[in-house]
Amino acid sequence: MSGALSLLDIAFTENSQVDVNQLNALYRSIGWDSHGRRTEAETTEMLSVSRYHIAAHTGEGCLVGFARVSGDPYVVQVLDVITHPEYRRRGIATRCMLGVLAHIQRSRYVSVTLTDGSGVEGFYQRFGFRVVKDVALMAADLPVPGRA
């Protein structure tokens, strides 16, 4: 898939149509959908409620990088900064983050957060994000009313 492509061979588009099947395949390629939960309909909905997204494609149209911002007019979260494993270390995630930052700077968000579970916090710190310990609470396996 990768060949000898450089960042010059990658096209970046903002808020444009993304092939959801390619996006779901990209999530699977990095291990984020090992259970096959992502559907075309849900990924389409995810894109429609995102405030911003940037996609990286090869000259052949293969999706190899992606990032998005989701939230409301005041509070947003940077999500899904991902690169296909065969295309890493070429600047794709950096270019996606620069697009995200430009979007954030054009906007009037009160709060911007990013949750990283991949262990690459240094990558995000380069863009001005800082690590804050013991602040986030995560709901897991919440009981659903009416279910045993």
117's torsion region: left (phi>0), alpha (psi -120 to 50) or beta?
alpha
Averaged pLDDT for residues 78-92: 94
Residue 74 has a pLDDT of 94
**60 pLDDT more than 80:** yes
**Is residue 34 domain-resident?**
yes
Q: How far is Cα 112 from Cα 37, in angstroms, rounded to an integer?
A: 27
Residue 4 has a pLDDT of 59
**Is residue 141 domain-resident?**
no
Averaged pLDDT for residues 90-99: 96
**Is residue 139 domain-resident?**
no
**Is residue 53 domain-resident?**
yes
Q: What is the CATH number of the domain that holds 106?
A: 3.40.630.30
Backbone phi, then psi, for 128, in 5-degree steps? 100, 0
Domain that holds residue 100: 7-125
Instruction: List pLDDT tens digits, range 10-32.
Output: 999 999 999 999 999 999 999 88
Q: How far is Cα 29 from Cα 33, in angstroms, rounded to an integer?
A: 8
Averaged pLDDT for residues 29-57: 92
**Is residue 133 domain-resident?**
no
Tally of domains within the chain? 1
**Is residue 2 domain-resident?**
no
**Is residue 91 domain-resident?**
yes
Averaged pLDDT for residues 58-81: 95
**Strands in 15-148 per DSSP E:** 50-57, 63-71, 75-83, 111-114
**147 pLDDT more than 80:** no
Percent of the chain clearing pLDDT 70 (strictly above):
85
**Is residue 134 domain-resident?**
no
